[in-house]
Structure 1
Amino acid sequence: MTSLMLGSNLRRTAPHAAAAPRRGVLTLEIVRDEAGFLALQPFWDVLVEKMATRSPFVRWDWMSLWWEECRKEARLAIGVLRDAAGVPQAIAPLMLASEPDSVRKHLVTLAFLAGFGEAHGERLDLIVPAGQEDELTPQLCGVFKLLMPECDNVRLNHLPEESPNRPHLLAALQESFSHAGVLNRQIGRYINLPASWEEYEARHSSKWRNLLRRCRRAFTAEHAGTASHAGERMTVDDTMKEFRVLHAMQWAEGVSSFTTEASWRFHQRLAARWLPQQRAWMPILEADGKLVAALYGFVEREEFFQYQSGWERALAKISPGKLVIRWTVDCCIQRGLRVFDMLPSDYEYKRQWCDGERWLLDLEGFNPTSWRSRAFTALRTVRRWLPRRSSSAAALTAE
């Protein structure tokens, strides 16, 4: 365990952080073993509850189960900022790992815990109480300088662009790493939920409304369709088994990372914990006496996060995929949620359902003292340069 003493003279205080508690000297530690990781459990979700960009993907259950099922060769490198009594005040959930099936597979990457690979999180961040980022985050970011000798690069995937930690993370990477900045910016679409389904439906065209209504009538009248939740008419275990089959139907030419063995074990264990707690939801549709559609997602701070879905392809004419989204949106409205987040990727169906957008960033930086890092960035520059040269040559030839 590595530690660094941080005095109060290192703090940067914003006006909104003026009421933050006075802590005195803080200590920055790096937790590297499982015993140290497990010792953080009592404090982890307490701090998550206070975050500005809280999500299910930074909660203890997600992170700890991911570590147990999906870590492969990863090593813990969790930054913890503690007060004089040893109580964690902020956490940087990090790991050292190689990205499998990636051009970076030969690099040792410093990344968010569960930041890539199977069952990776979709909205990840440093765990810092809201309003205290200007005070605590720069000190917590000292972990990047401490860990620089052990990594070839930093890759922080799926950081919410609106995170108050973002400017501090970028500043820390730019201070110690080369080529530091935003690598990718990916859209995530969401629905601003109204007070009723009728109000939501009115936002759409009459063609959209009529098509969905016809599908719903056919589902009910012609197929004896019913809507419920996992654990009501079907057990959670039975629902999960059939859901896996339905989800696989959408991947006829490949294998979804959701159904690989490690990922599936992870989600079976997570669903067993979170479905009874209502942290996870699985609205389902049954027709002709069998499961024909299901949607699996998570609830956090008046928001629902749609994670995966599956539906019976043989019933494509009545659009069970659309009907299960309709049922889920209605459930979210009935329970008073504010946002239905469809998470990243910009499919057409998400544009049709959603009226809001927010962005996720992948941040990166490279260790200037690592020969593997320098070789990688040099080759990447050449690969990016060659297509432009080829295009320019083709244009000159055409002229």
Structure 2
Amino acid sequence: MIHEAELSPTPSPARWLEVDTVWGLAKLAGLRGAWSDLLEESNAGPFNAWEWLYPWCRRIGADRKPFVMQAKDRTGALVGLMPLGFEYQWVLGRPIRRLAFLGETHVGSDYLDIVARRGREEEVARLFAEALWELRDEWDVLDLSDLREDSVTVRVLRETFGKYRADLRMSTRYVCPYESLPKGESFDGFLKRTSRRDNFLRRKKWLEKQEGYRIEKTEAPGALAGPLTDFFRLHSMRWESDGGSQGIRGSGVESFHRDATQLLAEKGRLRMYTMKVGGQAVASVYGILHRDSFIYFQSGYDPAWRNRSVGLVLVGETFKDAIESGLSEYDFLRGTESYKSDWTTQQRRTVSMRVLAPGGGGEWLVRREEAMKQVREVAKRVLPQDMVERVRRLRRRLSAVRG
């Protein structure tokens, strides 16, 4: 069992940083102001925001005990934090203590990382890495998922745990397509660089002739109820024939998004786009603003309008709005779906790091996961492809029912 006093404040002589920890949801709630200020002064990604991770803890990670490591300077100012949480997984009747990033499951949080003041990323990462090693008797598995491949944290943790000859395992996660939006380039100029220009213009022209066609952009916290309801309905309709969405499934995840979008909107970081024809919503995009980037998070559309390419047109309009807003990047996050490559020419990758504590029970968790993976692989080889797909759809539906 881990006790709050286990990690004593640890000074960093080079720059006089001190590390301590914040435990529990109530104390996490009190960090909002300092956390948000630090995020603005950092290069950390959008899903490291308090406005994302706090509702995740409330709605999805209720079984996790928040364990947020903080680095402070000699004045007490927050210089860095590492948002972690403890959970217990039972393997053969034995509790395995797993320490992982908050926000790691159910909601597609790419680019999880340490949040550190610009210019001090390496110093903060080394301080946290040493503190985690100091705590190695208190966890069995340290899982850090969906870090950017080029993150300073990845390099520092590899060096630190390598120095102690720890059992560290790296794995690739996702490819994230994105596109740079050069300053001064017009939307027409951008379109000429894509493979979708002609189809986009043709489909948009047809839609503009339809009665009641319009695109609504919602950013205000008090105006989200309708657009979110439309989004959930359209997202569900889009994935219904495939057994349900893997990205948004269950009432708990919907509750999380209602909380998170409200909090993000209060910070001016949310953009919901809804395409309507004849007063009916037919397509929706859920976007997040992060510094000078537009983050395409999720979308949905009415399958009855598939042949009219409403999804294509709405994505094009979000690019147009991003360019006209002066943003410099459009990020599709994880996934190599063809519609993303139609709009982008660049990619970045994410990785995960797993560390097994010496003498702990982490190896049992690894063995169980490997055994389950082998069972799935055998099933794929033995069962007909249509049966495999039916099993996948059934699992999605059962997961959605369980919420």
Q: Does structure 1 residue 29 correspond to structure 2 residue 20?
A: yes
Q: Which amino acid aligns with 1:339?
A: E
Q: Corresponding residue for 1:18?
A: none
How far apart are the structure 2 equivalents of 1:38 and 1:305?
25
Post-superposition Cα deviations, 1:170-225, rounded to whole Å, max 9, x if no partner, equal: 223434574313212421001212421111111134xx322222211221113542
Is contact 1:78–1:95 with CA below 8 Å preserved after alignment? Answer: yes
Q: Does structure 1 residue 94 correspond to structure 2 residue 84?
A: yes
1:69 aligned residue (46, 59, 84): 59
How far apart are the structure 2 equivalents of 1:176 and 1:296?
44
1:230 aligned residue (207, 218, 223): 218
| Secondary structure of 2:288's aligned partner | strand
| Secondary structure of 2:332's aligned partner | strand
- The 1:97/1:386 distance shift into structure 2, 3 A limit, reads closer
Is contact 1:30–1:143 with CA below 8 Å preserved after alignment? Answer: no
Q: Corresponding residue for 1:306?
A: 296
2:148 aligned residue (154, 157, 160): 160
Please state how far the C-alpha of 1:375 moved relative to its aligned partner: 2.9
Please state how far the C-alpha of 1:255 moved relative to its aligned partner: 3.2
Q: Corresponding residue for 2:243?
A: 254
Q: Which amino acid aligns with 1:169?
A: L
| Secondary structure of 2:116's aligned partner | coil
Post-superposition Cα deviations, 1:266-308, rounded to whole Å, max 9, x if no partner, equal: 1112222333543010122111221111100100110011111
Is contact 1:79–1:140 with CA below 8 Å preserved after alignment? Answer: yes
Post-superposition Cα deviations, 1:82-121, rounded to whole Å, max 9, x if no partner, equal: 2334332211111112579x9xx974321111122x3352
How far apart are the structure 1 equivalents of 2:244 and 2:376?
31
How far apart are the structure 2 equivalents of 1:301 and 1:112?
22
| Secondary structure of 1:77's aligned partner | strand
Q: Corresponding residue for 1:394?
A: none
2:125 aligned residue (116, 119, 137): 137
- The 1:82/1:264 distance shift into structure 2, 3 A limit, reads same
Identity of aligned residues (%): 22
Is contact 1:90–1:140 with CA below 8 Å preserved after alignment? Answer: no
How large is the RMSD of aligned CA atoms in angstroms?
A: 2.9
Q: Corresponding residue for 2:37?
A: 46
Q: Corresponding residue for 2:395?
A: none
Is contact 2:136–2:358 with CA below 8 Å preserved after alignment? Answer: no
Q: Which amino acid aligns with 2:162?
A: Q
| Secondary structure of 2:200's aligned partner | helix
- The 1:87/1:387 distance shift into structure 2, 3 A limit, reads closer
2:344 aligned residue (354, 370, 393): 354
Post-superposition Cα deviations, 1:47-66, rounded to whole Å, max 9, x if no partner, equal: 212223x2221111112121
**Number of equivalences:** 366
How far apart are the structure 2 equivalents of 1:383 and 1:273?
38
| Secondary structure of 1:165's aligned partner | helix
Is contact 2:219–2:270 with CA below 8 Å preserved after alignment? Answer: no
- The 1:99/1:363 distance shift into structure 2, 3 A limit, reads farther
Please state how far the C-alpha of 1:162 moved relative to its aligned partner: 2.2
Q: Corresponding residue for 2:205?
A: 217
How far apart are the structure 2 equivalents of 1:96 and 1:323?
43
- The 1:151/1:138 distance shift into structure 2, 3 A limit, reads same
- The 1:288/1:276 distance shift into structure 2, 3 A limit, reads farther
How far apart are the structure 1 equivalents of 2:95 and 2:280?
47
| Secondary structure of 1:3's aligned partner | coil
Q: Corresponding residue for 1:183?
A: 171
**TM-score, length of structure 1 as denominator length:** 0.83
2:310 aligned residue (320, 329, 333): 320
Please state how far the C-alpha of 1:27 moved relative to its aligned partner: 2.3
How far apart are the structure 2 equivalents of 1:375 and 1:99?
10
How far apart are the structure 1 equivalents of 2:163 and 2:368?
23
Q: Which amino acid aligns with 2:86?
A: L
Is contact 1:177–1:365 with CA below 8 Å preserved after alignment? Answer: no
Please state how far the C-alpha of 1:147 moved relative to its aligned partner: 3.3
- The 1:328/1:153 distance shift into structure 2, 3 A limit, reads same
Gaps of 5+ in 1: 12-22, 389-399
Please state how far the C-alpha of 1:384 moved relative to its aligned partner: 8.7
Q: Does structure 1 residue 114 correspond to structure 2 residue 134?
A: no
Is contact 1:187–1:345 with CA below 8 Å preserved after alignment? Answer: yes
Q: Does structure 1 residue 204 correspond to structure 2 residue 224?
A: no
**TM-score, length of structure 2 as denominator length:** 0.82
Q: Corresponding residue for 2:157?
A: 169
